[in-house]
Structure 1
Amino acid sequence: MKKTRSPRKFNDIVDEVYSIYGMKGAQEEHHALKVWHNVVGETIARITKVEKFVKGILYVRVLNPSWRNELSFRKKNIVGRLNETIGKVMVKDIVFK
């Protein structure tokens, strides 16, 4: 009888899949999405949702206009910390919606 592996969550294997299929750019973009929570912290992560990352622009949905305004003031700092965490300049801008 053939031994099977136990199922794994997609998020746990996505980097492996990107490597197998030679999708380094997509892998880097996925990494940028994954580090959002660590970079902005628990409070901001709770009131935001990263929607997509396209051509260097990160699109983030914010739960209310007050926070959207606050995050707009912090945008430059957040972009810098994201790129520092990623290890290279990938995020050029953030659009808060």
Structure 2
Amino acid sequence: MKSKSPRRLDAIVNEVCRGLGMEDERTQYRVLKIWSEIAGDIIDDITVAERLTEGRLYIRVKNSAWRMELNFRKKELAEKMNKILGKEKIQDIIFR
């Protein structure tokens, strides 16, 4: 009997999602989950990650002053997100 090497759970989940044609949904889920990590505690308290559509990440912001501040940091935040994802999935972040 031939034994298989153990595999990482995330590799198995990615493989299953790919097989089911759900890669985009898996990526969107990951993006929404890691927003808190990318944003940090202060920004996470005043924002809600809503969805990822066609490379655009939509973030709801509590007030216009923070929305303006975050618009200045959107390139930095997108780069961090793409680095964690390991691919260029975020082309733009829309703060609303």
- Please state which band the TM-score falls in when normalised by the shorter chain: 0.7 to 0.9
Equivalent residue number for residue 40 of structure 1: 39
1:3-36 CA distance string (max 9 Å, x none): xxxxxxxxxxx97x84673412211121111110
**Shift of the alpha carbon at 1:47?**
0.1
User: Aligned residues, how many?
Assistant: 84
1:43-92 CA distance string (max 9 Å, x none): 10010011111001001110011100000000110000010011111000
The sequence identity of aligned pairs, in percent, is 39
Instruction: Name the TM-score, length of structure 2 as normaliser.
Output: 0.78
Instruction: State the SS of the aligned residue for 1:35.
Output: helix
Gaps of 5+ in 1: 1-13
Q: Please give the alpha-carbon distance, in whole angstroms, between the structure 2 residues aligned to 1:72 and 1:25.
A: 25
Equivalent residue number for residue 92 of structure 1: 91
Gaps of 5+ in 2: 1-12
Letter in 1 for 2:45: R
Equivalent residue number for residue 64 of structure 1: 63
Q: Which runs of 4+ in 1 moved over 2 A?
A: 17-22
Equivalent residue number for residue 73 of structure 1: 72
Instruction: State the SS of the aligned residue for 2:90.
Output: coil
